[in-house]
Structure 1
């Protein structure tokens, strides 16, 4: 399948020429997450949700925000800060939902041969169809399209930047792996993966060649890349950040030595790689002590600043300046995770465990089934004997075994009536991979989904 960018952009360009407003053609979305069906070619069988802020320019930027394994587009919408930033800066957010299975379930396909070839099919083609739909339906600016994601979504971010450098202008990959790291589906699950098992060490040129071969003959500009990883990540090992750096610096023909390093926030060590004009093409964040739990509060704002759609420009010419790509102000925070939650609330919990050898991941979706919003929550449950949490995401967990309490983080403290949020953790086990027998939210027992 070939990809003709000029043809796909025709309708949006025509709107600009004849002076029609996008509002006259789009559905009456009112700043809510909305599912879109029949958005175009969809070989990956994916679902698409879109968030369109009420206040936006005629040709808004587009951000594709992708969830981790076991998650969903709506879950990443409620569990990340991209929608609130869209309200502030007027860009549109696409939240794809992966549906393919590879050990964990609902992971973006970054392992198949089809997914490693431009126009080859599978999830990458589905994502590009979503972008084209938003360009056509909402007048999205084809010159301001960006990708970001967490874990499997971070892996898919690297995938999209490699396969479609003419579509995406920049990307921010949280806890990802280099493009073409996985050999096949059998290499994907932790516990058996060479890619995430610590056995992957290629030269910068080998990594760069993988990107160049994905779209052979392409000579146009490459998307700028921002990379994030926790130093204590054991699910997707921290050393893979260096492999990502080597891949993208080689693609840009940059030195492996950063032109500047700084600490924009406590525990955030940033390395920046710039070209001869001083433009930062690659920047990498090492988050001290963080496990498989990114993006943490405030990080999405740095990604949006790097893209240049928060008004700061995004392509600093002074890589030594610690504030040159910093957001103008941090996003508003919800109550901190340590604040005591209010009284009990009606709830429903869906819980999925994916286990291997001596490890497992558990993905939990909490739904407020009551008639009032929950502002601050604590989910309690008891882990089966022999299980011990090693890292988690979208909640703060304590203790790591026995009777556990998962408390909200700043960006998912509020659960509106009917609203859901997805959390999860990685754990070790000694043979018992069962789920907790029951859950309670703010002291009230939750129904099982």
Structure 2
């Protein structure tokens, strides 16, 4: 009977409704359709039955100021930052600095941007694009509108199956010359040209973008204050950039390493670095059929080792931030984990982005 009930339960907006290995309901709430994102993930999206904020159009600009050295701090502005960037729409950047793998970067500047804004880097999942992440997960831009920060949306390079490089030595190394280098260049460009507050630079992403979030925190810890990982894996876990069928050991949750081994994989990403690492939030659902829930614990082990704090949480909060989720805090709050009972791969669930924004201090 339980399986019969599950099969007819309607999936809410942005919930998972299909994909290879998925065993849950494929029926979406009224007014929603099950949209295929890629072979392992389909999502309930609007078809007109439920009003949502429309996505502003994507425009292109080639008149950005030239890249300048980041060895000096950006001047303290007294007027709206980034005057060349149109407000309220997604704008593609060009000539933002070193970009060895030819990633694309887009920026969203809200109409009410602060004079000294924060910056959020948002990274799409496998099979997605910057524009799809912008439109399909509107919480980030909605909070940018409310709080006055800017958002950089990254897009993986052509020919990558729209997946980030989370396996090569180049991408897993500081200034190694791959996707991570291009993302860092765009952040450095923003810091130099847009009067971004360097203490308020953050990174987040879903699935492949979540893995790249962990990698950015490892390879460029000097750039980021915090990160939020939605349905990802530890740095150095996966053996391939694209989903494998049958699943590789990391996808299926059978890659289990010691905290020291996981921590060493982060430390190898930036040899000789002695500064602080970004504080981290890790989110994962128990019904994630693309990346097993056990990956939450492996990421916890990795970052507690980096922070040199206990794997025993200092606080556990059931029903946080909503029913079915459990929050755990480690050390003095450098690490927070969120385990979602019954939650799938399509994170963040609508409305939970605010928890990350508050964690960031945006």
TM-score category by the smaller chain? 0.7 to 0.9
- Paired position in structure 2 for 1:303: 356
Q: What is the alpha-carbon distance in structure 1 between the residues aligned to residue 234 and residue 146 of structure 2?
A: 31
- Paired position in structure 2 for 1:86: 144
Q: Confirm whether residue 99 of structure 1 aligns to residue 157 of structure 2.
A: yes
State the 1:44 CA deviation. Answer: 2.0
State the 1:135 CA deviation. Answer: 1.8
- Paired position in structure 1 for 2:345: 292
After superposition, give the CA deviation of every residue in 1:21-42 in whole Å (9 maximum; x if it has no partner). 454x631512111111121111
Alpha-carbon RMSD: 1.8
Q: Confirm whether residue 8 of structure 1 aligns to residue 70 of structure 2.
A: yes
- Paired position in structure 2 for 1:258: 313
Q: Which residues of 2 match residues 217-296 of structure 1 at below 5 A? A: 217-263=272-318, 264=320, 265-274=322-331, 279-296=332-349
Contact 1:22–1:138 (CA<8 Å) still a contact in 2?
no
Q: Report the TM-score, using the length of structure 2 for normalisation.
A: 0.77
Q: What is the alpha-carbon distance in structure 1 between the residues aligned to residue 190 and residue 135 of structure 2?
A: 21
Contact 2:226–2:278 (CA<8 Å) still a contact in 1?
yes
Query: Aligned match of 1:132 in 183, 188, 191?
Result: 188
Q: What is the alpha-carbon distance in structure 2 between the residues aligned to residue 158 and residue 248 of structure 1?
A: 10
Q: Which residues of 2 match residues 11-410 of structure 1 at below 5 A? A: 13-16=73-76, 21=79, 23=81, 26-80=83-137, 81-99=139-157, 101=159, 105-184=161-240, 189-263=244-318, 264=320, 265-274=322-331, 279-309=332-362
User: Any unmatched runs of 5+ in structure 2?
Assistant: 1-67
State the 1:192 CA deviation. Answer: 4.5
Count of residue pairs brought into register by the alignment: 292
Q: What is the alpha-carbon distance in structure 1 between the residues aligned to residue 361 and residue 71 of structure 2?
A: 22
SS at match of 2:171: helix
SS at match of 1:207: helix
Q: What is the alpha-carbon distance in structure 1 between the residues aligned to residue 219 and residue 71 of structure 2?
A: 18
Q: Report the TM-score, using the length of structure 1 for normalisation.
A: 0.62
Change (3 A) 1:109 1:214: same
SS at match of 2:280: strand
Q: What is the alpha-carbon distance in structure 2 between the residues aligned to residue 217 and residue 184 of structure 1?
A: 27
Q: What is the alpha-carbon distance in structure 1 between the residues aligned to residue 85 and residue 260 of structure 2?
A: 49
After superposition, give the CA deviation of every residue in 1:216-245 in whole Å (9 maximum; x if it has no partner). 221111100000001010111100010000
Q: What is the alpha-carbon distance in structure 2 between the residues aligned to residue 79 and residue 198 of structure 1?
A: 27
Structure with higher Rg: it is 1
State the 1:48 CA deviation. Answer: 1.0
Contact 2:78–2:115 (CA<8 Å) still a contact in 1?
no
Q: What is the alpha-carbon distance in structure 1 between the residues aligned to residue 158 and residue 338 of structure 2?
A: 30
Q: What is the alpha-carbon distance in structure 2 between the residues aligned to residue 181 and residue 217 of structure 1?
A: 22
- Paired position in structure 1 for 2:64: none
- The structure in which a higher percent of residues are strand is 1
Q: What is the alpha-carbon distance in structure 2 between the residues aligned to residue 150 and residue 28 of structure 1?
A: 26
Contact 1:191–1:197 (CA<8 Å) still a contact in 2?
no
State the 1:172 CA deviation. Answer: 0.2
State the 1:137 CA deviation. Answer: 2.7
Contact 2:85–2:91 (CA<8 Å) still a contact in 1?
no
- Paired position in structure 2 for 1:442: none
User: Any unmatched runs of 5+ in structure 1?
Assistant: 1-5, 310-449
